[in-house]
Each structure stands twice: as C-alpha cells, then as structure tokens.
Structure 1
C-alpha cells in the first residue's frame, strides 16, 4: 500500500464529511447565525472576548491538538496500520467531530459555560458536581502529563550535547513575548489583523531562527518544570486576549506549516507502507498483553476523539465565538484537521520498518525525511518538527490549566448556575489548587500518568456525549448522532479502566489505582443518573 493513497483518501473523506455531514448536523441542531453569542452578550475582555473565526480556529486547533494525535497513532501502530487508519477516519468524522462541535455548540447555548453546566440544566446539580469532579481530575492529569512532556522536550543534557531541546525551549519562550506584543497591538491599539498576522508570522519564524542559532536556555528538566508551572499560572489568569489567544493563533501557523510540509513531502516521496496491515487481536503475552478492543481506541486517543476537546470547546472557545455559524469551522473543522495530523503520524511510523525512539523522535524523523524531498535539510527539519510538537503540547498545557480553573470555580456556583463569590471561586485560588494538584502527580512521571490519562480522557468524551444526548432529547432534537458514539465510547473506556485498575494495583501504583477506581465509579453513577432522569421525563411526558 502506498501512503499517498491513504493520505488522499483521508483528505477526500474529510472534505466530503465537512460539506455533507456538517450541513446535516447544522440543520438538525438549528445553528442560528442571527443569535447573539455569549462572547458578545457577556463580553468582559478577560474570558469573554469575540474573536475573528480564523484567529479562533488557530487557538482552538492549537489547544486541542496537543501531543495526542501524534503520540496515539504511533503507539497504536503495533496493532497494524489498517485498524488505526480506519479508526482515525471513521472516528474523526462520526465520533470526534460530532463530539467537538456538539460540545462547543451546547456551551454557546448555555452562556459559554462548561459541559458541567449543561448537565446541571438537564440532569440536576448533583450530576453537574459529579461531572465537574471527573473533569477536574482529568484536567489535573492533562496538566501533569503535558508539563512532564514539555519539560522533557525542552531539557538539555550536557552529557549528550544535543541542542534540540534547548533550541525548542528558547524559541518557545520567545514566542510567549511575541504573542503578548501581538495581542496588545491588535486588541488595544487597533492594528489590522491581516497586517499584524504577516508581521507576527515573520517574527515567529525569526524566533525559530534565534532559538536555533542561539539556544541560550540550556536548562535541566527540573528547571523547566518550575518555569512551566509559573507560566501556566500566568496563562490561566491573564486576560485571554493578551497571551492565550494570540500565542495559540501565531503558533497555529507553525503547526499549519508543519502539516503542509508533511503533506507535500508525502506527495513527492510517496513512501510505501512497510509495516503489517494487521497484527491480530492480541499483541504480547501475559500481563503485558494488549487487546485490539479496547486498547486500540484508547491509545489512538486524540487522533479520533478526545474528551479534553469538549472542555476546550466549552471552556475557552465558546467564550470567544462571534457568530454561531463559525462553530462548524472551528468545532467540526478543527477535529478533521487533527485527523490529518493523525494520518501523517501513522505514515511517519508505517513507512519506516525500523522506526525507533519516542513518538516525538519517530514523527520528527519521518516528517523531516519527507520534507527533505523539497530541499529542507533533515537536521533542520527535525528541529522544526520537534518545535511544532512542543508547541502542540504547550498550547494544550496552558489551555488545560485555564479550563481547570474554570471547572474548579464552577464548584462554587449556586444551584441556579449563578456564581457565588467565595475564596474558591477566586481565579487565583482556583488556579493555584489546580496547579498544585498537578505538581503532586508530576512525581509519577509521564510514562505512568499517560495510560490513566488516556482512559480518563476517552471516558470524559463519553460523558460529554451523554450530556449532549440528554440535552438534544430534552429540546426535541435528533440525538442518535451523539447516542450511538456515546454507547461505543462507554464500552471502550469502562473496559479499559477495569484493565488499568488491575495493572496499577498489581504494580503497586496505589494512588493511580485508586484514582482509576474513583473515575470508574463517577462515570457509572453519571450514566445511571442520566438514564434514570430520561426515564422519569419520558414517563411524565406519556402521563401528560
């Protein structure tokens, strides 16, 4: 099989789905361009701030992509390229895309609040509190995992003398100051977005040049952990227009450049797929055995669906949507673009028989080799792709911290959904608690956190689909497009959590084992609550 066929087929199917299935969803849900969005109705220029759809797509895509669509397909390739490819394409179109867009749209219709608020309205206050506990615990896992990933990516090891991390770290810090300048001039000085974007992107690549040529931040992993903790605290509390939105927007051009470069490289090289199409249902033996179901779907993770996306859509993006019609491009389109990244990640490992190393190394080596076909030196290409990879992870990290702050603050909302002023609802306190909890989990390290993060993340997607299904049912809309994916995701993730609980306790990881049990119990109770509530409402309607 030639990889170009897989890429072209994926691009064609994603385009057809965006035009046709996207139009069907928009009509079924009742997207209304004339309706005032929360970004305009509740504008405060701190969290609620209407944004140009292209800027917001950049912010949203940068935030949701993270390391997942790269890491997941590469790790899942042990099952063979065919099941991974099928799940990326089918999952992105009918599961992940629907989940992302639905979560964003539902939040817009609920004053830009999180999925937890949608659950409160449709399932009651207890359901909201349970969901928010689950979501906050998942976000703590996200922050811990991605802090460890970013710190490890940026760290400099004097013994090896490899400057790749120092170059990426130096450039990333320069990005932060560039983004703040961009946000100030666009939002406070009224600079034109088009002109500012051209200048901003030029300066973005100048930052890459400076980072590559003068990698001054040769710091240890511990030092980077400290810097990142300080950074995410600031990113969570500063006005969204000053740092989060402009940084993600500018970094999106870096990600688009990597994506375009990878696509062009595959077109020119047209590498053959050299790994097996399928390696059977079971990989490995004994306690190390992995099963196609459910582990394939948990491992691919963000490459097809991610619960974290629902928190981004209902946490930050919904507060910046200027018009409901923009939600299709950002919610559905953003997930389909991520599907393209996942296909490229699969090709980067499937086209090289002896691909070895971390997913970041495998991906950067593969894409750099493809881009070498149009003249970019392989070594420069590797640094560029590693920088893009770290940008994915860093944008997800700062967004996750901010959303964790939102969810924690919502714990202190009154039963009617209005905010009650308490110490817990203070954004600095909420951020500090979220960051502190993540720091405790950092002690376990990325490799131990990732398995439970993957399962919790996918289970969160199932719970978000549950909230959407109940909301659509209560408002008289067709809910089959969310209910079918919901049932499948619950079957996958609850099965995976059972396996993880067994493995954690067997390995002596008691805290992670207990956390997995807590997540399982919360999810099952929420499913029971939703089923019971829908049954009661149906009975009332029949009796009426």
Structure 2
C-alpha cells in the first residue's frame, strides 16, 4: 500500500464529512448565529474573552492535540496499519468530532460551564460531583505526565554535551513564551492589525527557533526544567487568557501546521512505502503482556480518534472565548478532523521507519524528517524542527490542563448564599493545589502514569457523551449521534478496565489495580443513572435548549 493513498483519502473523507455530516449536526443541534455566547454575556477579559475564530482554532487545536495523536497511533501500530487507519478516520468523523463539537456547543448553552455542570443540570448533583472528581483527577494525571514529558524533552545531559536537541527545543520554547506575551499585548491592548501581527509573529517564532538551534543557552537538567515548567503553568493558569494562553497557542499552531503541511507534502513527493503489515493478529504478545485488538487499539490511539480531555478543553477554555455559535463547527469539529490528519501522518511515519527505535517522539521525528528531506530540508534540521513541534503539542496541553483543573477545583466550592467564597475557590490557591498534587506524581514518570491516564481519559469521553445524550433528550433533540458513540466507548472502556484489573493484580501492582476497580465502579454507577434518564424516569429538565 502506498502511503500517498492513505493521506489523500483521509483528507478527502474529512473534508466531505465536514461539509455534509457537520452541516447535518449543525441543523439538528440548532446552531444559532444570532445568539450571544458567554464570551460576550459574561465577558471579564480574564476567563471570558471573545476571540477571532482563527485565533481560537489555533488555541483549541494546539491544546487538544498534545502528544496523543502522535504517540497513540505509533504504539497501536503493533496491530497493523489498517485497523489503526480505519479507527482514526471513522473515529474522528463519527465519534471524536461529535464528542468535541458537542461538548463545546453544550458548554456555550450552559454559560461556558464545564461538562460537570451540564451533568448536574441533566443528571443531578451526584452525577456532577462524581464527574468533577473524576475529571480533576484525570487532569492531575495529565499535568504530571506532560510535565515529565516536556522536562525530559528539554533536558540537557552534561555527560553527553554533543546532544543539544533538548537544549535547543527548550531555549526556543522559552523565547516563544515572551514572544507570545508581546503578541497578546499588541493585538488585544493596542489593537494591532491581526493579519500584520500574525505575519510578524510567525516570522519571529521561526527566529526563536533559529536562535534556539544556533545558541542553545538554556542547558538545564530534567529537574531544573520541571521547576521552570511548574512556574510557567502556574502563571498560565492565573494570567488573563489574552496575555499568554490565547497568543501562545495561536502562534504555536502555525508551527504545528507547518510540521503537518511539511509532513503531508513530503509524503506526496516521496510516496514512502508501508513497511509494516496491514494486519498482524487480534492478540499480540502472551501472558500478562498480551495486547488484544479490542479494546486496546481503541484506548491506545486515544487523541487520534477521540479523547475525553478534549471535552474539558472545549467546555473549559474554548467555550469561554467563542465569539459566535457559527464558529463552533470550525473550532470543535474542524479541530478534531485536523488532529485526525496528524494521527495519519504519525501512522505513516512509524509504518515507513518500522525498524526505528526510541520514544514515539523520536520515531515520529525520524519519519517526518525523512519525508521533508524529499524537498530539500536536511534530516538533522528536520528532526530538531519536529521535536520542537512535538514539544509545542505537549506544552500547550500542559498549560491548558492546568487552567481547566483550576476551573473544576473552583467548582467544588461554589459561592455561598451570603455571597462569600471559600478560600479554596481562590484561583491562586486552587491552581497551587492542582499543581502540587501533580508534582507528587512526578517521581513515577509518565511511563507509569500513562496506562491509568489512557483508561481514565477514554472513560471520560464516554461520560462526556453521556452528558450530551442526556441534554439532547431533555431538550427534545435527536440523540443517536451521541448515544451510539457513548455505548461504544463504554464497551471499550469497561473491557479495558477489566483487563487492567486482571493484569495489575496478577502483576502485584495493587494500587493501580485498586484505582482501576474504582474507575470501573464509577462507570457502572453513572451508566445506571444514565439508563434512568434515557428511559424517561428523571424529572429534571434542562432549560438550556
């Protein structure tokens, strides 16, 4: 199979889906372009702040992408390229895209509140509390895992002074943070022209990359970078979105787009052959290390097809910045389809360099650098560029996850009847607690955190689809487009948890086994609650139609 066919076919199917199924969803859901969004009705220029659709797409795409659409397909390729490819395409269109757009749309119809609040309105207070606890713990895992990933990516080993990839990526990333702050100030406070500012900003972004490549002056250890990143994400959580989060994610999206375009263009020119089989076996490995195509493939691909983290981004930060409901399709549905293209490129990368060793980031960098070499970009430069882009994915997810974690933690302590707030609802305190809990997990490293995170993340997607299904039923809208993916994701997640429980206890990993049991019980509890809602036994009706 020629990889050119895979990437072109995927892009064509995504474009057709955006124009057809996307339009169908917009009509069924009742997208209203004249209705004011929370970014306007609740504007405070700290969390609620309307943004240009293209700027918001950059922020949203950068935030949801993370390392998942790259690492997931590469790891899932053990089952062959065909099942991974089919799940990326079908999942992005009918599962992940619906999940992401639906979460964003439901949030703007609930004053920009989180999925937890949507569950409260449609399923009751108990459901909200359980979901928010689950979501917050998942975000703690995200912050811990991505802090470790980013610190490891940027780390400099004094014993190997000739290896400068991490120092170069770290130096460029820090320079980029200051560039983003300047960009936000000029665009949002000095009303600088967005088009002109974008051209200048992107040019300066690549200047940051050049400086980082030629003069990598930030040569910190992994621990040193962990300290720097902790300080950064604290600031990113409490500063107004226009000052850092919006501009940084917007500008970094061009870096990600450049990598994506370069990878696709390289595939078109090089037409790399697929070096792995279309399918391998339903069961890969044996004993405790056995991997079953169902459900492991659907959990492993993760962000490449659907991710519960996306619902937290859509209902956490994006919904508070949406300028008009008409922009929700581009940002919510379009963002997921773009991520699907990233996942396809990642799959082709590992399929081309099948014998390459290293982390998913290194394998991805080797493949894409080889593709871009077809139009003249030196492989060493291409590898550094791709590693920078990969770290940009991870870093944007990291700062967004911290901010959303702060939002959810604050929701645990609502305003009292006398108008007073708990000290724990303070944005600085809630941010500090969220980060502190993540720091406690750093010693385990992301490799130990990732299995539980993956299962929790996909279960979170099922719970978000549950919230959307209940809301659509309560408001008299068709719900099959969320109900069918919801049922599938619960089947995937519950089966995966049963396998994890078996393997964890058999392998003596008691704590991980206990956590898996708790997740399983939580899922069953919420499924029972949803059954009552879907059968019409609940009396609570949503007014946010």
* TM-score strictly above 0.5: yes
CA deviations 1:506-525 (Å, max 9, x no partner) are 34433333322222222221
**TM-score, normalised relative to structure 1:** 0.97
SS at 1:273's partner residue? coil
Task: State the superposition RMSD in angstroms.
Answer: 1.5
Tell me the equivalent position of 2:39. Answer: 39
Pair 420,101 (structure 1): closer, same or farther in 2 beyond 3 Å: farther
> In the alignment, is the contact (CA less than 8 A) between 1:410 and 1:419 conserved in 2?
no
Question: Would you say 1:266 and 2:267 are equivalent positions?
Answer: yes
Tell me the equivalent position of 2:224. Answer: 223
Worse-matched range after superposition: 423-432 or 295-304 = 423-432
Tell me the equivalent position of 2:411. Answer: 410
Tell me the equivalent position of 1:364. Answer: 365
Deviation at 1:540, TM superposition (A): 10
Worse-matched range after superposition: 492-501 or 464-473 = 492-501
> In the alignment, is the contact (CA less than 8 A) between 2:2 and 2:272 conserved in 1?
yes
Tell me the equivalent position of 2:383. Answer: 382
Pair 420,515 (structure 1): closer, same or farther in 2 beyond 3 Å: farther
Task: Give, in whole Å, the separation in 2 of the partners of 1:8 and 1:415.
Answer: 55
SS at 1:99's partner residue? helix
Pair 420,406 (structure 1): closer, same or farther in 2 beyond 3 Å: farther
> In the alignment, is the contact (CA less than 8 A) between 1:413 and 1:419 conserved in 2?
no
Pair 126,539 (structure 1): closer, same or farther in 2 beyond 3 Å: closer
Tell me the equivalent position of 2:113. Answer: 113
Gaps in structure 1 of 5+ consecutive residues: none
Tell me the equivalent position of 1:148. Answer: 148
Worse-matched range after superposition: 496-505 or 52-61 = 496-505
Deviation at 1:412, TM superposition (A): 1.3
Task: Give, in whole Å, the separation in 2 of the partners of 1:34 and 1:529.
Answer: 35
**After superposition, where does 1:100-499 map in structure 2 within 5 Å?**
100-161=100-161, 162-413=163-414, 421-499=421-499
Worse-matched range after superposition: 255-264 or 223-232 = 223-232
Tell me the equivalent position of 1:15. Answer: 15
Task: Give, in whole Å, the separation in 2 of the partners of 1:308 and 1:186.
Answer: 29
Task: Give, in whole Å, the separation in 2 of the partners of 1:537 and 1:494.
Answer: 25
Task: Give, in whole Å, the separation in 2 of the partners of 1:262 and 1:242.
Answer: 31
Task: Give, in whole Å, the separation in 2 of the partners of 1:291 and 1:432.
Answer: 40
Deviation at 1:388, TM superposition (A): 0.1
SS at 1:424's partner residue? helix
Deviation at 1:354, TM superposition (A): 1.2
Deviation at 1:414, TM superposition (A): 5.9
> In the alignment, is the contact (CA less than 8 A) between 2:532 and 2:538 conserved in 1?
no
Task: Give, in whole Å, the separation in 2 of the partners of 1:380 and 1:347.
Answer: 20
CA deviations 1:88-121 (Å, max 9, x no partner) are 0000000000000000000000000100010011
CA deviations 1:191-219 (Å, max 9, x no partner) are 11111111100100000000000111111
Worse-matched range after superposition: 280-289 or 152-161 = 152-161
> In the alignment, is the contact (CA less than 8 A) between 1:412 and 1:419 conserved in 2?
no
Tell me the equivalent position of 1:513. Answer: 513
Task: Give, in whole Å, the separation in 2 of the partners of 1:21 and 1:397.
Answer: 31
**TM-score, normalised relative to structure 2:** 0.97
Deviation at 1:28, TM superposition (A): 0.3
CA deviations 1:125-168 (Å, max 9, x no partner) are 11111100010011111111111110110011122331000000
Pair 323,540 (structure 1): closer, same or farther in 2 beyond 3 Å: closer
Task: Give, in whole Å, the separation in 2 of the partners of 1:539 and 1:166.
Answer: 58
Gaps in structure 2 of 5+ consecutive residues: none
Task: Give, in whole Å, the separation in 2 of the partners of 1:102 and 1:332.
Answer: 9
Tell me the equivalent position of 1:94. Answer: 94
Number of residues paired by the alignment?
540
SS at 1:463's partner residue? helix
CA deviations 1:474-524 (Å, max 9, x no partner) are 000000000000000000011111222233333443333332222222222
Task: Give, in whole Å, the separation in 2 of the partners of 1:357 and 1:139.
Answer: 27
Task: Give, in whole Å, the separation in 1 of the partners of 2:539 and 2:399.
Answer: 45
Task: Give, in whole Å, the separation in 1 of the partners of 2:442 and 2:503.
Answer: 20
Deviation at 1:292, TM superposition (A): 0.2
> In the alignment, is the contact (CA less than 8 A) between 1:412 and 1:420 conserved in 2?
no
